[in-house]
Amino acid sequence: MLKVSHLSAGYQGHQVLRDISLQIDSGSLVVVLGPSGCGKTTLLNLIAGFTAPSSGKITHDGQLVTGPGADRGVVFQNEGLLPWRNVLDNVSFGLQLAGVEQPRRHDIAQRMLRRVGLEGYERHFIWQLSGGMRQRVGIARALAADPRLLLLDEPFGALDAFTREQMQELLLTIWRDTGKQILLITHDIEEAVLLASELLILSPGPGRVVDRLNLDFGRRYVEGESCRSIKSDPEFIRYREYVLGSVFHQREALL
């Protein structure tokens, strides 16, 4: 379980996050939603261990987070892939750094590529892939080290609506099949309501949690209902409108 307790952080004396607390249990998919600049990436970087908080603490399965670790896998907004390596070598890169022998790391990478629907693309280079395929490679790479927690920083932001929905379905399938703890940050309200088992709404200036909702639309998808049917359900629309209202209310309060 990941536990964030009373976390505050900032840059050069400017507070960006204030008193954030959250918990990610195994099997939960926590989504942090907020407008641009409210500190979502800062929060993810703190949990990944890339930066340190000014106060508060983060523990993962009881261990204090003091830096990056193989227990946490990160999928970046801009994929962060290596263009001169092919797909297989990108996915197995972390395993190579960890000293895993080539046959074993290629075997793991191949399994992860099957999981994200990229079987047959092992020898392709990154520049030969579409944006959606690149994000699949990014997810496969993060999964390759078998992290207990998967952190995703606005991973589908640059994709068209159709590809985005396909990727949302893929993420929910991975969530169901692996039972991993997942934290996703986004500014897309519909995406947040669909994916989250727990949704945290962050408000800027400084970033703080202003609302929390427990939702089950992602669970409905993994139990067999289609995304289209869920997104057109009046209950889904009601929650989407509620969250939209909450985000607008926070923005108006700032103006």
Ligand X SMILES: Nc1ncnc2c1ncn2[C@@H]1O[C@H](COP(=O)(O)OP(=O)(O)OP(=O)(O)O)[C@@H](O)[C@H]1O
User: What is the distance between the alpha carbons of residues 3 and 212, in angstroms, rounded to a whole number?
Assistant: 16
Nearest to 218 by CA among 187, 246, 239, 201: 239
User: In whole angstroms, what is the distance from residue 190 CA to residue 116 CA?
Assistant: 22
Please, what is the minimum distance in Å from the beta carbon of residue 32 to ligand X?
9
Number of residues forming the site for ligand X (CB under 6 A): 11
Q: Is 36 near ligand X (CB under 6 A)?
A: yes
Please select the residue that binds ligand X; options are 7, 18, 39, 199, rule is CB under 6 A: 39
Q: Which of 2, 4, 7, 16 binds ligand X (CB under 6 A)?
A: 16
What contacts 55, CB < 8 A, 6 or more positions away?
6, 7, 8
Q: Tell me which stretch binds ligand X (CB under 6 A): 34-42, 90-98, 100-108, 158-166.
A: 34-42
Q: Is 248 exposed, middle or buried (0-12, 13-18, 19+ CB in 10 A)?
A: exposed
Among 1, 3, 15, 41, binds ligand X (CB under 6 A): 41
Q: In the window 161-190, what residues touch ligand X (CB under 6 A)?
A: 187
- Confirm or reject binding of residue 37 to ligand X (CB under 6 A): yes
**DSSP, res 65:** P
Q: Judged by CB under 6 A, which stretch of 19-27, 38-46, 85-93, 99-107 contacts ligand X?
A: 38-46
Which residue, 27 or 37, has its beta carbon nearer to ligand X?
37
Contacting ligand X (CB under 6 A), which of 11, 61, 68, 101?
Answer: 11
Q: Name residues whose C-beta falls within 8 Å of residue 116's C-beta, 6 or more positions apart in sequence.
A: 136, 137, 139, 140, 143, 170, 174
Using alpha carbons, select from 43, 47, 50, 48 the residue that is nearest to residue 17.
Answer: 43
Residues that bind ligand X in the complex, under the rule CB under 6 A? 11, 16, 34, 36-42, 187
